[in-house]
């Protein structure tokens, strides 16, 4: 069993530390001074990969200093693996492919990214078209739904019809040319029927007038009403026919749109529709993610409204899976045409998926943050180089109690964990990153949690302290931002390797050496001699300075003589 201890460099944009100017500097300028052999480089932007002479500098750092490194990828909208918005999906995939390419080039061990970056669908319902505006969306593998859905079953296509109804009826602002032509034909047919009915009405009125030489107004009105009813019946019949054409022919025409047609990316209700269509497909096929995360026989709509957290987690995991196995044009540009899963195995790099932080006002509202749901997502991929990162601060920020959650996790959960991001376990939005003091309650709690994961299969991996701003939040020096966190983590790693249960941790774990027994005995004597000093002057009995010595011994000055030998 090997547990490697390391630290993260931190972000220059946060700390403005000169030691963080450039990727190589983040390793050599900050991390190398902390006495560790592993550093997680925190990436500000993929533009960092294009720093002049970076490859040579990274090679020199590795060879001269012997430091291994991993990489924390970008955070934010353009690293949102759970998004169905076309621009977000494509930018995320581009940046992920680009990051993995340079990670292999620079000899990095892993790339760490967050599982989720977006709120639940219900939190952004105001963005749906019925409320004002909409966005182009894609299927989990990045293709438009017009291509993705072709080989899917009836239930999935039936769900699709709910989300393109405006487009089919002609009420939508965007209508493909094929549909417009069909609509013109329908209008012509309806106009012809109306014109013919009016002609028949007039002819009948004239014929009746010729027969009687006089046409009462009541008779004329009766004829008009008769033909008006006929016109209405015909209109209803035509409406039903038109509706049938919408559901059958026009849906097929829409599905035949090419990936370069803007309309193929547009649903009436954007992400709401995209997530529902994917959910319908997952439910219809008893998809592993739907079965294990949602685990309900309810309809897609019922699950969405009654248990949106699980609904979102299952579909978000499907989008995540789409990125890992997609063969997009960006894979051709950056990964030699391989999928991300293939690239990871070929280049021996790990892609780590981290439980995300819960920003202020979004606690528990991300689409995929529960470690149990993340476990199902990674296990279903069945790729040995895709693993999990656990961050207890992030879990706390999403109102997850690790003591409770860890007990609920499957017995093999630890096998899928590769990395721990650690700091004092406090729930301030997952980004406090307060140093871990040796011998502290925090060190003990972290050991308890990691030990529990170890018992579920975490036999080796990395344990790192994530750099923050120190206890004040504005720390600049290494001592301010690190304190003795590395030493605390080394103690955790040492006793994990020895498989010592939390309740049996020795004094050494807390920074108290057991090798200096004689020193501690002398200290214990001094403590006992002065244990009652705080009580002097407060007791209502005669005080005796000579303690247990007789009067004769006091007169012979034996007390002073014995004091001199007390510490020998």
The number of C-alpha atoms within 13 Å of 295 and in the hemisphere containing its C-beta is 4
> In 3D, which of 33, 10, 34 has the Cα closest to residue 21?
10
Last residue of a domain, one of 510, 529, 546: 510
Q: What is the pLDDT of residue 175?
A: 47
Q: Does residue 158 share a domain with residue 97?
A: no
291 touches 156 (CB < 8 A) = no
431: containing domain:
2-134+301-510
Q: What is the pLDDT of residue 131?
A: 46
Instruction: Bin 71: left if φ > 0, else alpha if -120 < ψ < 50, else beta.
Output: beta
Percentage with pLDDT > 90 across the chain: 47
Q: What is the pLDDT of residue 171?
A: 40
Residue 282 lies in a domain: no
Residue 125 lies in a domain: yes
Q: Does residue 457 share a domain with residue 326?
A: yes
Q: What is the pLDDT of residue 283?
A: 96
Residue 543 in this model has a pLDDT that exceeds 70: no
Residue 339 lies in a domain: yes
| pLDDT digit string, tens, across residues 196-254 | 666 666 666 556 555 554 556 666 566 666 666 666 666 655 554 454 455 566 667 77
Residue 149 lies in a domain: yes
Cα 30 to Cα 34: distance, rounded to the nearest angstrom: 7
- Residue 538 has a CB neighbour count (10 Å cut-off) of 6
Cβ neighbours for 108, distance < 8 A, ≥ 6 positions apart: 41, 69, 70, 71, 349
The two most distant CA atoms of the chain are separated, in Å, by 159
Cα angle, residue 366 at apex, residues 364 and 371 outer, rounded to 5°: 75
The number of C-alpha atoms within 13 Å of 164 and in the hemisphere containing its C-beta is 31
User: Phi, psi at residue 256, to the nearest 5°?
Assistant: -90, 0
Percentage with pLDDT > 70 across the chain: 75
Q: DSSP states of 389-455 as a string?
A: EEEHHHHHHTT--HHHHHHHS-TTGGGGEEEEEES----STT-------TTSHHHHHHHHHHHHHHT
Q: What is the pLDDT of residue 337?
A: 96
Q: Among positive and negative, which fits the CA dihedral 186, 189, 195, 199?
A: negative
Last residue of a domain, one of 237, 265, 293: 265
Tell me how many domains the chain contains: 3
Q: Does residue 149 share a domain with residue 127?
A: no
User: Crossing angle of helices 86-105/308-325, nearest 10°?
Assistant: 50
160 touches 250 (CB < 8 A) = no
Q: Does residue 557 share a domain with residue 494?
A: no
Q: Does residue 425 share a domain with residue 312?
A: yes
Residue 412 lies in a domain: yes
Q: Does residue 506 share a domain with residue 530?
A: no
Q: Does residue 207 share a domain with residue 314?
A: no
Q: Does residue 306 share a domain with residue 214?
A: no
Confidence class of residue 135 from pLDDT cuts 50, 70 and 90? Answer: confident
Residue 48 in this model has a pLDDT that exceeds 50: yes
Residue 288 lies in a domain: no
Q: Does residue 122 share a domain with residue 253?
A: no
> In 3D, which of 115, 111, 55, 53 has the Cα closest to residue 80?
115
Q: What is the pLDDT of residue 346?
A: 98
Cα 78 to Cα 315: distance, rounded to the nearest angstrom: 19
Cα 349 to Cα 340: distance, rounded to the nearest angstrom: 10
Cα 317 to Cα 344: distance, rounded to the nearest angstrom: 19
Q: What is the pLDDT of residue 238?
A: 54
Q: Does residue 184 share a domain with residue 80?
A: no
313 touches 293 (CB < 8 A) = yes
Mean pLDDT of the chain: 83
Q: What is the pLDDT of residue 519?
A: 73
Cβ neighbours for 518, distance < 8 A, ≥ 6 positions apart: none
Residue 40 lies in a domain: yes
Q: Does residue 256 share a domain with residue 199?
A: yes
Residue 296 lies in a domain: no
Q: Does residue 388 share a domain with residue 479?
A: yes
Which of 112-116, 166-170, 281-285, 502-506 is predicted least confidently?
A: 166-170
- CATH number of the domain that 441 lies in? 3.20.20.150
Confidence class of residue 174 from pLDDT cuts 50, 70 and 90? Answer: very low
Confidence class of residue 389 from pLDDT cuts 50, 70 and 90? Answer: very high
| pLDDT digit string, tens, across residues 434-485 | 889 888 999 999 999 999 999 999 999 999 999 876 676 666 666 777 788 9
More confident position, 524 or 472: 524
pTM for the whole thing? Answer: 0.78
């Amino acid at each position: 069993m090997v547990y490697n201890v390391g630290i993260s460099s931190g972000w220059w944009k946060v700390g403005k530390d000169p030691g963080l100017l450039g990727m190589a500097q983040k390793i050599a300028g900050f991390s190398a001074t902390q006495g560790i052999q592993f550093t997680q480089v925190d990436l500000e932007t993929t533009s960092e990969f294009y720093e002049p002479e970076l490859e040579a500098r990274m090679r020199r750092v590795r060879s001269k200093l012997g430091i291994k490194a991993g990489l924390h990828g970008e955070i934010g909208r353009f690293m949102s693996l759970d998004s169905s918005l076309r621009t977000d999906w494509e930018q995320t995939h581009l940046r992920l492919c680009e990051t993995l390419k340079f990670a292999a080039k620079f000899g990095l061990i892993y790339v760490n990214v967050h599982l989720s970056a977006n709120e639940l669908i219900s939190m952004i319902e105001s963005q749906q078209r019925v409320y004002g505006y909409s966005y182009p969306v894609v299927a989990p593998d990045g293709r438009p739904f017009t291509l993705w859905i072709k080989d899917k079953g009836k239930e999935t296509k039936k769900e699709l019809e709910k989300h393109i109804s405006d487009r089919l009826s002609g009420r939508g602002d965007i209508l493909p040319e094929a549909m417009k032509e069909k609509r013109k034909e329908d209008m012509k047919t309806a106009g012809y029927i109306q014109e013919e009915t009016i002609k028949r009405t007039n002819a009948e009125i004239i014929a009746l007038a010729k027969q009687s030489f006089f046409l009462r107004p009541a008779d004329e009105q009766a004829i008009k009403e008769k033909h008006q009813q006929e016109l209405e019946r015909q209109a209803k019949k035509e409406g039903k026919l038109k509706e049938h054409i919408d559901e059958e022919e026009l849906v097929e025409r829409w599905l035949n749109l090419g990936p370069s047609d803007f309309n193929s990316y547009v649903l009436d209700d954007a992400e709401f529709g995209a997530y529902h269509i994917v959910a319908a497909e997952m439910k219809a096929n008893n998809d592993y993610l739907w079965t294990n995360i949602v685990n309900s026989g309810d309809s897609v709509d019922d699950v969405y409204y009654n248990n949106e957290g699980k609904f979102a987690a299952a579909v978000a995991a499907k989008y995540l899976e789409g990125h890992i196995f997609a063969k997009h044009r960006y894979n051709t540009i950056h990964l030699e045409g391989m999928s991300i899963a293939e690239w990871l195995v070929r280049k021996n790099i790990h892609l780590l998926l981290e439980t995300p932080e819960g920003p202020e006002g979004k606690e528990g509202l991300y689409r995929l943050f529960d470690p149990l749901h993340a476990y199902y997502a990674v296990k279903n991929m069945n790729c040995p180089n895709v693993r999990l990162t656990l961050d207890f601060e992030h879990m706390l920020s999403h109102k997850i109690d690790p003591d409770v959650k860890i007990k609920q996790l499957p017995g093999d959960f630890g096998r899928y964990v590769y990395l721990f991001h650690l700091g004092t376990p406090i729930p301030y939005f997952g980004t406090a990153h307060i140093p871990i003091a040796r011998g502290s309650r925090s060190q003990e709690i972290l050991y308890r949690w990691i030990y529990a994961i170890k018992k579920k299969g975490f036999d080796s991996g990395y344990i790192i302290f994530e750099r923050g701003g120190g206890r004040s939040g504005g720390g600049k020096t290494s001592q301010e931002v690190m304190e003795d966190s590395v030493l605390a983590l080394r103690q955790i790693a040492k006793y994990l390797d020895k498989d010592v249960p939390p309740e049996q941790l020795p004094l050494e774990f807390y920074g108290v050496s057991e090798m200096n027994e004689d020193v501690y005995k002398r200290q214990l004597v001094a403590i006992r001699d002065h244990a009652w000093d705080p009580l002097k002057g407060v007791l209502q009995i005669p005080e005796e300075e000579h303690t247990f010595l007789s009067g004769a011994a006091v007169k012979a000055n034996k007390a002073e003589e014995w004091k001199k030998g007390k510490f020998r």
